[in-house]
């Protein structure tokens, strides 16, 4: 028999009645657990929220840069009219007179009455006579048939239609007067002022500080492409060669240790220091041309090398030793093993790393500012391949910075638009990298 007393009073009191009843301490611990989990979800949601806000503000502010306000006129010029205009002393002025008549006629046809003079049209359109004259001199067959001209309107017209300039804030100036706004309203109603796709933004070059409407990113895209060509041609072979040496041949000694430490340090040096290096070594010391894509490419090459070396070494390391041993076993030299067997197998990984490195270099701005690749020099396209490398030009990010730094807020729209163009390039490069990775993914 047991000595234990059966009376309930004798038993020690139990703290827990059951695992299933939750006491206050457990409840607290469970609540803490839940909170902690929430913080994690919250952190990720905040991160995703930032991406969404960023994407939203880029798209919302950038898309207007791709369209612009145009004055679209169906213009008919008879042969007599052409002869008469060409016979006058101020020929482009004669064309402008004809254009004004055409606009007047179009407004009347719509039954809209508004009074305006040639000066008002001049404020809205600049000097369109030259465009008209050039067209008819080049295309005589268009005489007598209606031709639709889409003439870019002044940026203040753009500002009025997009709400940047309002009737309340408008101050009469030689650029825009209060009366012009009535004319603009009338023209919009008649369908003469419309919005059209702005090809000039994609293909054009930077404009002066007083002409935000005419600014385009085309020339700096060319500058960026030439720069990327330099980076690709230099950083891929040098980076791959350096990685092959470090991964396959390097003995463990002071020298290779120094190289290793150097590479990991270079990967973390601030980009602006590379700009200082470029300024001091390539421009001050070697007298290479300032603002040239060649110098920009050299600077970015030095910046990209660590990225490429690190990714190349990772993909060389991923090639299994059995491949090497098999090659050595049939009598290949160490060099042949690497170049004939290991390198081709590592190539997809190397290419992926290179594309990602190039994408990073494409978006880099700070070092380019120091070597002078700022936008105001990107006034035109370089003529010829050699000039493409050595002529002053801008790069996309530097061009965007120039626009953002200008006083006229009309340029901000261009800056956002430029960012869309830049991100399209980056996105396509990253997608290419992902496709390459998927396509050649290999499991040993």
Partner 1 sequence: MPLLWVFLIVLTIAIGGYFAGRMRVLQHAGGDRRKMHSLPNYYGGNVAIKAAVPAFFLLVAWLLIQPWIVNSSVSNLIPDSAIAESSSRGLVLSEVRRAANGLDMAVAQGALSEDDARQPDADVTDISAKLQASGAIVTSQITPPVLQAAQRYRDLNTQGSTWMAIAVISLAVAGALWGLRGAVPDYRARNVVETAVRYLLIGAASIAILTTLGIVLSLVFNTIEFFRLYPAADFFFGTNWAPSFSGRGGSSDLGVLPLLWGTFYISIVALAVAIPIGLFAAIYLSEYATPRIRSIAKPLLEVLAGIPTIVYGLFALLTVGPLLVSVFGRDGLGIMQAGTAVVTAGLVMGIMLIPFVSSLSDDIINAVPQAMRDGSYGLGATKSETIRQVVLPAALPGIVGAILLAASRAIGETMIVVLGAGAAARLSLNPFDAMTTVTAKIVSQLTGDADFASPEALVAFALGMTLFVITLGLNIFALYIVRKYREQYD
Question: What residues from 6 to 65 belong to the interface with partner 1 (CB under 8 A)?
Answer: 29-30, 32-33, 35-37, 39-44, 46-48, 50-51, 53-54, 57-58, 61
193-197 and 147-152 beta bridge pairing = unpaired
Residue closer to partner 1 (CB basis): 46 or 138: 46
Here's the x/- map for partner 1, 275-294, by CB under 8 A: it reads as: xxx-xxx--xx-x-------
- Cα 68–chain centre separation: 19
Residue closer to partner 1 (CB basis): 67 or 256: 256
The Cα–Cα gap between 50 and 392 comes to 37
Residue closer to partner 1 (CB basis): 181 or 276: 276
Q: Is 415 in the site for partner 1 (CB under 8 A)?
A: yes
Q: Is 314 in the site for partner 1 (CB under 8 A)?
A: no
Minimal distance in Å, beta carbon 199 to partner 1? 23
Pick the stretch among 131-139, 176-184, 191-199, 238-246 that binds partner 1 (CB under 8 A). 238-246
Neighbours of 332 (CB within 10 A): 16
Q: Binding residue for partner 1 (CB under 8 A) from 6, 19, 109, 268?
A: 268
Distances (CA, A) of 232 to 67, 220, 332, 369: 34, 18, 30, 21
What are 70's strand-pairing partners?
A: 152, 194
Here's the x/- map for partner 1, 342-381, by CB under 8 A: it reads as: -----------------xx-xxxxx--xx-x-x-------
Pick the stretch among 150-158, 159-167, 189-197, 298-306 that binds partner 1 (CB under 8 A). 298-306
Minimal distance in Å, beta carbon 68 to partner 1? 20
Q: Is 271 in the site for partner 1 (CB under 8 A)?
A: yes
Q: Binding residue for partner 1 (CB under 8 A) from 70, 103, 222, 400?
A: 400
Residue closer to partner 1 (CB basis): 82 or 403: 403
The Cα–Cα gap between 248 and 236 comes to 17
Q: Binding residue for partner 1 (CB under 8 A) from 112, 188, 250, 387?
A: 250
The Cα–Cα gap between 62 and 161 comes to 16
Q: Which is nearest to 274 in space by CA: 371, 389, 363?
A: 371
User: Any idea of the CA torsion for 287, 375, 406, 204, to the nearest 10 degrees?
Assistant: 160
Residue closer to partner 1 (CB basis): 189 or 260: 260
List the 67-75 sheet strands across, edge first: 147-152, 67-75, 193-197
Chain residues 208-237 in contact with partner 1, contact rule CB under 8 A: 237
Chain residues 83-112 in contact with partner 1, contact rule CB under 8 A: none
Minimal distance in Å, beta carbon 165 to partner 1? 18
Distances (CA, A) of 441 to 200, 322, 347, 434: 42, 18, 11, 10
Q: Which is nearest to 408 in space by CA: 209, 208, 177?
A: 209
Neighbours of 252 (CB within 10 A): 6
């Amino acid at each position: 028999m047991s000595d234990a007393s059966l009376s309930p009073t004798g038993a020690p009191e139990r703290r827990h009645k059951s695992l299933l009843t939750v006491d206050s301490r457990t409840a607290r611990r469970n609540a803490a657990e839940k909170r902690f989990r929430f913080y994690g979800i919250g952190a990720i949601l905040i991160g995703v929220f930032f991406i969404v806000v960023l994407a939203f503000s880029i798209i919302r502010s950038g898309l207007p840069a791709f369209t612009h306000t145009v004055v679209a006129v169906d213009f008919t010029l008879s042969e007599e009219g052409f002869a008469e205009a060409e016979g006058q002393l101020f020929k482009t002025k004669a064309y402008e007179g004809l254009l004004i008549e055409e606009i007047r006629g179009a407004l009347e046809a719509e039954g809209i009455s508004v009074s305006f003079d040639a000066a008002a049209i001049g404020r809205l359109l600049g000097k369109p006579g030259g465009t008209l004259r050039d067209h008819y001199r080049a295309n005589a067959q268009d005489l007598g048939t209606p031709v639709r001209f889409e003439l870019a309107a002044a940026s203040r017209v753009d500002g009025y239609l997009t709400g940047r300039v309002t009737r309340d804030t408008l101050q009469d100036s030689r650029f825009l007067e209060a009366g012009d706004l009535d004319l603009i309203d009338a023209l919009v109603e008649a369908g003469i002022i419309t919005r059209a796709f702005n090809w000039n933004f994609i293909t054009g070059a930077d404009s002066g500080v007083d002409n935000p409407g005419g600014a385009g990113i085309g020339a700096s895209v060319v500058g960026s492409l030439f720069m990327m060509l330099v980076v690709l041609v230099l950083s891929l072979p040098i980076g791959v060669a350096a990685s092959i040496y470090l991964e396959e041949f390097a003995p463990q000694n002071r020298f290779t240790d120094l190289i290793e430490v150097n590479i990991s340090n270079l990967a973390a040096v601030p980009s602006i220091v590379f700009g200082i290096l470029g300024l001091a070594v390539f421009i001050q010391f070697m007298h290479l041309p300032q603002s040239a894509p060649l110098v920009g490419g050299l600077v970015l090459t030095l910046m990209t090398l660590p990225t490429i070396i690190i990714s190349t070494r990772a993909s060389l390391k991923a090639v299994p030793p059995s491949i090497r041993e098999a090659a050595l076993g049939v009598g290949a030299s160490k060099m042949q093993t690497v170049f004939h067997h290991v390198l081709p197998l590592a190539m997809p990984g190397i290419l992926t790393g290179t594309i990602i490195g190039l994408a990073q270099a494409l978006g880099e701005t700070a070092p380019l500012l120091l070597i002078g690749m700022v936008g105001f020099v990107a006034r035109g396209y370089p003529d010829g391949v050699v000039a493409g490398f050595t002529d002053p030009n801008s790069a996309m990010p530097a061009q965007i910075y120039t626009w953002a730094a200008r006083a006229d807020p009309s340029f901000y729209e261009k800056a956002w638009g430029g960012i869309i163009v830049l991100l399209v390039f980056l996105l396509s490069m990253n997608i290419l990298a992902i496709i390459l990775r998927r396509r050649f993914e290999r499991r040993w």
